[in-house]
Amino acid sequence: MAKLGKRTKAAQEVFGTAMNVSVEEALALIKKGATAKFDETVEIAMNLGVDPRHADQMVRGVVQLPNGTGKTVRVAVFARGAKADEAKAAGADIVGAEDLMETIMSGKIEFDRCIATPDLMPLVGRLGKILGPRNLMPNPKVGTVTMDVKTAVEAAKGGEVQFKVEKAGVIHAGVGKVSFDTEKLAQNIRAFVDAVTRARPSGAKGAYLKKVSLSSTMGPGVSVDLSSATAN
C-alpha cells in the first residue's frame, strides 16, 4: 500500500469522515485544511443528471458572483473603431482584430476571457480549434458576443463566472478565495448553485442535481448537503 503524503495525512486528520455537511461546515473544514503558501481558490464541483452528448441536455451559462472571485481576470476583446476604444476604456487587457488573431494563432494566449463584437465573429471563428478546447470561444449565450462590450468587460472583471457541463455531467468552477469570509463564500456558492439549477435543460430527466462538493486548490473534496447548497 502506497504511503500517504504529509499533505494528504494532514487533510485526513482535519476532514475525517465528513460527509454531506452544510456549506458553512464544509468551508470551516476547507479553511482549516488549506495550508498552501498561497491563497487557495475554493472550488465547487457539481454532478448533474444529464448526458451532454445530447444537445437538449447541455448545461451552460454565466453567473455574477455577489462577492467576486478574488481572481484577476485578463480580458481580450475583438473589436474595431469606437467599440475597440470602448473596450479599452472599460479595462480590457488586450484589444484588436486581425493582429489579435495572429497573436493567438502564434500560440500566445494571455487572457482568461474572450469577448467579440458580432461583426468580427467570422474572424474569431477561424480560431475555434484553439479557443474552443480552452473554453475561450466567444458565445452569445453567455454574453461574450455583444455590441455592449463595456458591460461585458466590466462583468468579466467584476466576478462573472461562466460554466459548462463536461462529458461526465460535471461542472467545475472557482467561487472565491480561502481568505474570503465564510459568509461571502457561502453567498457565492449558493448563487452559483442557483444559476446552474436555473439552467436545467429541457432534456434532463429525473434527479438533476445529484452531488455538490467543495474543496480548496490543494485539498480534498467535502460533499455538501444539497438542501444547504440550494438554500437562499
1-29 pLDDT tens trace? 444 455 555 545 555 555 789 999 999 99
**What's residue 167's pLDDT?**
87
Please name which of 63, 45, 44, 42 lies closest in space to residue 169, comparing C-alpha atoms: 45
**What's residue 14's pLDDT?**
53
Chain position carrying cell 472557482: 174
Q: In the CATH hierarchy, which fold is given to the domain comprising 75-157?
A: Rossmann fold (3.40.50)
Q: What superfamily does domain 18-69+160-229 belong to in CATH?
A: Ribosomal protein L1/L10, rRNA-binding domain (3.30.190.20)
Give domain limits for the chain.
18-69+160-229, 75-157
Length of the chain, in residues:
232
SS3 content of the chain, % helix, strand, coil (to 5): 40, 20, 40
Per-residue DSSP letter, 219: S
Q: Work out the percent of the chain whose per-residue pLDDT is above 70.
A: 91
**8 A C-beta contact, residue 65 and residue 171:** no
| Number of alpha helices (DSSP H) and beta strands (DSSP E) in the chain | 9, 9
